Amino acid sequence: MRHFDLLKSPVIVLLVALGCNSGPATSATETEGGSSGAGTTTDEPVDTTEASAELTSTDAPTTAEPTTDATAGETGETSGTSGDTGGADCSGDTPHVLLATTMGDMIVKLDAVNAPNTTANFLDYVESGFYDGTIFHRVAIDFVIQGGGFTPDLMEKPTNPPIPLEINPALTHVDGAIAMARMQAPDTAAAQFYLCDGPQPGLDGQYAVFGVLVDGFDVRDAIAEVPVGDENGLMDVPLEDVIIEMAYCVSQL
């Protein structure tokens, strides 16, 4: 169990999605960031790389400025563990990715037709093993579970360069939607992603949805209900680590 440090640091930026139903508050201060954001209720899945954007009152999934590994930035290779799992091919219009977590398995079906760039970016991280050993570092019940950026000791992993925002009206924030967290600026998604806990229409048109959960809703629900607290400037961090042990492509259901 973690020992929580209540000191705030400008690590997470949360963006406002107008009209988003924030749902029940998950902590006294749901905005993640500097002290100027204390007490502001927000419901946005945010990328928690080191923040540079100005903190705003928001209800949307956002991320802070991505930290890019110098080598990865030049070569396009993402730092991480080996992604060789012997799983299925990640090609095709609807690749399926299994997220094996310490609370059970979830399978997401990606949409390479309507979100080709975002899907390819996510699969690059999957195939490199980047997500293996990372945690769900933000859990907000009735909103999102967010991961893909931090190790259990809350060290942020270096990423590839960010990608352009890819919005397609065919892909919306339905229950179980998977989408990319980003910074306040649109074209800043890198590795962090979130799964919707219930439909979140207020996020539509602002964050890149690229697939949907097709198996493991019970696991998603269990993760969404874990106790959370504050640590190292991050809000809504599970008190016990919820680890993505491995992410890899599987055959279609």
**What's the whole-number average pLDDT of the chain?**
77
Asked if the model's pLDDT at residue 1 lies above 60, the reply is no
The residue-averaged pLDDT of 150-161 equals 97
User: Looking at residue 238, which CATH number applies to its domain?
Assistant: 2.40.100.10
Domain count, the chain: 1
85-99 pLDDT, tens digit each: 456 899 999 999 999
In a domain, 20, yes or no: no
In a domain, 50, yes or no: yes
**What is the per-residue pLDDT for 3?**
41
**What is the per-residue pLDDT for 144?**
98
In a domain, 4, yes or no: no
> Which residue do the tokens 């060290």 mark?
155
The residue that leads in pLDDT, 25 or 202, is: 202
Give whole-number Cα distances, 162 to 32, 101, 158, in Å.
21, 25, 11
| Containing structural domain, residue 234 | 35-72+87-250
In a domain, 21, yes or no: no
**What is the per-residue pLDDT for 43?**
56
pLDDT band at 253 (very low <50, low <70, confident <90, very high): confident
In a domain, 12, yes or no: no
**What is the per-residue pLDDT for 50?**
44
In a domain, 97, yes or no: yes
37-95 pLDDT, tens digit each: 333 334 566 665 543 222 222 345 655 444 444 334 333 333 333 344 456 899 999 99
In a domain, 52, yes or no: yes
Asked if the model's pLDDT at residue 12 lies above 60, the reply is no
7-21, 52-66, 74-88, 229-243: segment of lowest average pLDDT: 7-21
Asked if the model's pLDDT at residue 227 lies above 70, the reply is yes
In a domain, 41, yes or no: yes
Beta pairing partners, 179: 194, 209
The residue-averaged pLDDT of 122-127 equals 98
178-211 pLDDT, tens digit each: 999 999 999 999 999 999 999 999 999 999 999 9
Assign residue 205 a region (left: φ > 0; alpha: ψ between -120 and 50; beta: otherwise). Answer: left
